[in-house]
Structure 1
Amino acid sequence: MKVLIGGYTKKSSKGIYELPFAGTDQTARLGEAENIIQVSDPTYFQKDGALIFTINKPNNDEGGISVFKLEDGQYHEVDTYLTPGSSPAYVGINRDKHLLYTANYHTGIISVFKYDENGELTLLDKDKHEARTLGPRPEQDSAHPHFFDETPAGNLVCCDLGNDTVEFYHLNKQNKLEHLATFKSEAGFGDRHIVFNKKGDCFYVAGELSSKITAVKFNEDDWKFEEIATYSTIPADWTEHNGAAAIRISKDGKFIYVSNRGNDSIAVFAVNDDDTLKLVQRISVEGSFPRDFNWDESEKYVVVANQNTDNATLYLRNAETGALTTIQKDIKVPEGTRVEFEE
């Protein structure tokens, strides 16, 4: 097993790094990071077999997606799709349908791509978010889509930090995006990322600007929404800056995890039978500015990347309690913002 970490390339990073994984339980360790792909600002990427689809910002005028394929032990670039302006902030994937979904925070554009077996990209459709319900915070100066991926029923969902909204779409048979519904969060919430429960009738949206999670019952047939409750990801007495970032839910649907950039922690919540949440733990990331974290297929091991301190931390996860235990810290990896396990 290996761990891939990518991020910004503003300082010493050269792109995407691979870290070997060895040992089990308390003796599990990550080895030295090796640069396997040289690419500019791979702040988010997805993997499908020998293919890696990564954000790329090769110059000041353009940004987009690049595709690398593993051949003879080396990754080679097979395609790149660039557009004027900034690069996307998020890449989603459907490996069965060979679809990619990108959200561009700065340009306000969400896009759907098709890719073939070799990784070559075809743009199917895109939509530009407008500044319709902008929040009151300085960061909400425009529409800012920060996430674009699939719902449990196979529709598409986008979190818009600028508009404080969650937008739902359908990709029709003509491969065109049709807008279906909007959920409006409280002003200044700053919707960033979202996860869904196992039944597919409740979602949990993380607000970057508010450092909160809102639980919402919903129905993908009639698109009715019902807010259940909202929870803080940071302590009540925290007065310094914080931005909630990644949110993940365990496969059994029993636990939710959110990273805090500022409080520099991962908040762990238990999911109750009625879809409400209960705080289990806040654990230090042993570094600064944890934008992303991820787990292996068994969800036994968790790795978080700390962007500002150029390090990662490895945890052991208790599947019964949801709690994390730090088993390795100060793992050197530069400017990390994205974590992906490779089994």
Structure 2
Amino acid sequence: MKLLIGGYTKNTSTGIYELPVIPTQDKPGLQLGPAKAVIKLGGPTYFVQDGNLLFTIKNAGDQGGIASYELSQGKYQAKDSYLTAGSSPAYISLNRTQKLLYTANYHTAVLAVFAYTSSGSLTLLDTVTHTADTLGPRPEQSDGPHPHYFDQTPAGNLVSCDLGNDRVDFYQLQNNHLEHRASYQNEPGFGSRHLVFSPDGAYFYVVGELASKINVVKFNEQDWSFTNIATYSTIPADFTGHNGAAAIKISHAGDFIYVSNRGHDSLTVFGVKQDHTLELRQRIASFGQFPRDFNWDQDEKYVVVANQNSNNATLYLRNSEDGCLTPLQKDVSVPEGTRVLFAE
């Protein structure tokens, strides 16, 4: 097992780094070894893997887009790229079964669907551009729509989160064409960023970057009905500094939800009750500045968070009974990290 961390390349980072995951000798557990640059490219702020193929955001000066790499004989080889003028996307996800990629571009407001082959070749299938229909009141929303997430739903549809419009939009891909199906509107100034679904597919939990909140929503993918259940703060009520909630993850069993807080510099842990409402279990420091992404291993036993502004990562042990995190290793050096992914 190994860990991949990538992010911005504005200062010292050169792309995507690999960190070995090493069993400790004196006690059960793991530690992270030194980070080594394994893919050199601009701005790999988000990436995903399908076997030996890796698909990443790519910034190439006045162009932005995505690129594919193949791991062969221990090295990543560039396979293909799709670049257009302007900013690169903020998010990329994949459908391994149908070999599709989905991207959301925060700056250009474009959602895109790509097909990929087993050799890593990329083909654009369709795009949709969000319009300024329901812009929120905050300064970050004044310049237009900002889709920050585009991924699959439990029933095989697609869903995006738009920070500018405070909105969650649902699509179907029919004959390689995106068709809008429904929208769910968050409160003004929420800043809809990312979401996760309950294992039964009947609820989603959307994190608001600008409001530092999680909204619990019951929904039905057959008739596209939505019920607002409850909303919870990811930061303490007495915190007065600036914060932007970022990544959200839900455990495989659906019993715990985790959110990163950039500004409060913490991870917040919620327990999920039987009725899908939440209860606060823990807020723990990220031991760095501006934690954006975090992730866990396949068994959800270990969690790693990357601190973008302090150029370090933190490793935690996760308790599956109460969901809480215990730090195992701090100050793991890795530059400008915004994406964390465990890989075999």
Structure 1 length-normalised TM: 0.98
**Which amino acid in the other structure matches residue 306 of structure 1?**
N
Q: CA deviation at 1:27?
A: 3.5
| Aligned pairs, number | 341
CA offsets per residue over residues 15-38 of structure 1, 9 Å max, x none?
000000011675410000000000
1:195 aligns with 2:177: no
Any idea what SS the aligned residue of 1:139 has? helix
For 1:219, the equivalent position in structure 2 comes to 220
Within a 5 Å distance, the mapping from 1:111-150 to structure 2 comes to 111-140=112-141, 141-150=143-152
Rounded to whole Å, the distance in 2 between the matches of 1:185 and 1:27 is 41
For 1:89, the equivalent position in structure 2 comes to 90
Alignment gaps of 5+ in structure 1? none
Worse-matched range after superposition: 20-29 or 101-110: 20-29
Structure 2 length-normalised TM: 0.98
Any idea what SS the aligned residue of 2:60 has? coil
For 2:32, the equivalent position in structure 1 comes to 30
For 1:177, the equivalent position in structure 2 comes to 178
For 1:342, the equivalent position in structure 2 comes to 343
**Which amino acid in the other structure matches residue 143 of structure 1?**
P
For 1:19, the equivalent position in structure 2 comes to 19
Q: Does the CA contact (< 8 Å) of 1:79 and 1:120 recur in 2?
A: yes
Q: CA deviation at 1:121?
A: 0.3
For 1:39, the equivalent position in structure 2 comes to 41
Q: Does the CA contact (< 8 Å) of 1:26 and 1:316 recur in 2?
A: no
Q: CA deviation at 1:188?
A: 0.2
1:319 aligns with 2:316: no
The RMSD of aligned alpha carbons is 0.8
Rounded to whole Å, the distance in 2 between the matches of 1:246 and 1:266 is 10
Rounded to whole Å, the distance in 2 between the matches of 1:247 and 1:289 is 15
Rounded to whole Å, the distance in 2 between the matches of 1:26 and 1:181 is 48
Rounded to whole Å, the distance in 2 between the matches of 1:117 and 1:7 is 25
**Which amino acid in the other structure matches residue 159 of structure 2?**
V
For 1:292, the equivalent position in structure 2 comes to 293
For 1:236, the equivalent position in structure 2 comes to 237
CA offsets per residue over residues 230-285 of structure 1, 9 Å max, x none?
00000000000000000000000000000000000000000000000000000000
Q: How high is the sequence identity, in percent, across the aligned residues? A: 63
Rounded to whole Å, the distance in 2 between the matches of 1:74 and 1:3 is 15
Any idea what SS the aligned residue of 2:140 has? coil
Rounded to whole Å, the distance in 2 between the matches of 1:93 and 1:254 is 24
Rounded to whole Å, the distance in 2 between the matches of 1:12 and 1:96 is 37
Rounded to whole Å, the distance in 1 between the matches of 2:95 and 2:282 is 32
CA offsets per residue over residues 93-123 of structure 1, 9 Å max, x none?
1111111000000000000000000010011
